[in-house]
Structure 1
């Protein structure tokens, strides 16, 4: 976490947008570290964790991947693309940016996040698509219905 000081002139010239991808990524992080802070969150986790865990159990490569995209010190850059500044984008547009990430970029981001060499199971060219597939599943199965 950081501390940012933003002047009134900068804030006045700023725009805030809603990002479906940011909501979906936050959902992923909540499911990966399932500790509830209040009863409503506990109920939500109890309802969502079985499906999420089953999805990962059915795809061990993606299970390893999602545990590698975030560490205590870093989140893989490709998972959270920088907004373009062109207003709100659809979930599909944001997801397309993840899918278009070159394998070399994904691998470099994961090495940075892991803080060491890439495990053999993640030395693949389809990691961006696997990430996008899981995020799409989370969006349609968890975020939108809630």
Structure 2
């Protein structure tokens, strides 16, 4: 078991954040890994041929990609904690490109044996950054506005749970192996590693990412955190069935589809891109029709579909859209 020793002050200052760099790392893990979530399959199918061509043209990047991740670990050169002051992907990427060669070789060597090419290469940080930049430009940046909406909605969801139930409830929902233990430490993974003392750290940050796995991010001794898989319910749903759109209208049908899992009005605004008043109006109509219900959770009002709403959505798909 891997534990982080976290004092109450650091835990109180910890936060959720969105990182384009870590979303890009998650994309690389999908492309080079053996498994992914169902909603990630189409994206992987679309971009894997281009990645193969990129790696054929850049053998050092191919060597890096083969050592990007092992069964229980992602190479540290890919999981550098972004500085809080970094604004955007390019600024976050600089902390990767400036990483020393010796450190990168050690980090990749934890996954597998280095090729002679990696042992000889100078400026490996630039190679790692170039690989991530390719993933960003090819597969992430064109879709970033939608991805960012989904990630920010997840942040809102986790923050609401944190406010209502505390860290002991939040952490297992980020990933089953994470937990706040009775002795005041944080179980971060099942890896057999020495305890890591975070009492002098400045930052502890949690990052949602459309990733097939959770992974730690750090820049010891000051910055620590973890990326966790964004909730599957927040992956964009398939387009609403035609009959549902004709019955409710496109936007109202999308709101109903999103509510397969409980969401607040604010989360729906983030996910759909609709205005707060528009979402509120749609919810009022759906609630009046008996398709959604609401309950209060702390300061938030949470909505979800009723059984009738579930049946309506399911029947539209069963009837061939």
Higher relative contact order (CA 8 A, sep 6+): 1
Counterparts of 2:82 and 2:60, CA distance in 1? 28
Match of 1:122 in 2: 118
Q: Which of 94, 97, 103 in structure 1 is aligned with 2:95?
A: 97
1:29 lines up with 2:26 in the alignment: no
Q: Which of 123, 129, 140 in structure 2 is aligned with 1:143?
A: 140
Q: CA deviation at 1:68?
A: 1.1
RMSD over aligned CA atoms reads 2.6
SS at match of 1:144: helix
Counterparts of 1:24 and 1:111, CA distance in 2? 22
Counterparts of 1:18 and 1:126, CA distance in 2? 28
| Residue-pair matches, total | 142
Compute the TM-score of the two structures, normalised by the length of structure 1. Answer: 0.81
Contact 1:21 1:91 in 2 (8 A): yes
SS at match of 1:75: coil
Q: Where is the helix percentage greater, Structure 1 or Structure 2?
A: 1
Counterparts of 2:76 and 2:140, CA distance in 1? 22
- Max Rg structure: 2
Greater displacement, 23-32 / 135-144: 135-144
Deviation per residue, 1:56-108 (Å, 9 max, x gap):
12222211111113211322212111243x35632111111111111111111
Contact 1:17 1:87 in 2 (8 A): no
Match of 2:64 in 1: 65
Q: CA deviation at 1:30?
A: 0.2
Q: Where is the strand percentage greater, Structure 1 or Structure 2?
A: 2
Q: CA deviation at 1:126?
A: 2.5
Match of 1:109 in 2: 107
For structure 1, the 5+ residue unaligned runs are none
Contact 1:19 1:88 in 2 (8 A): no
Q: Using a 3 Å threshold, how does the CA distance of structure 1 residues 31 and 10 change in structure 2: closer, same or farther?
A: same
Runs of 4+ in 1 over 3 A off after TM superposition: 1-4, 6-13, 34-37
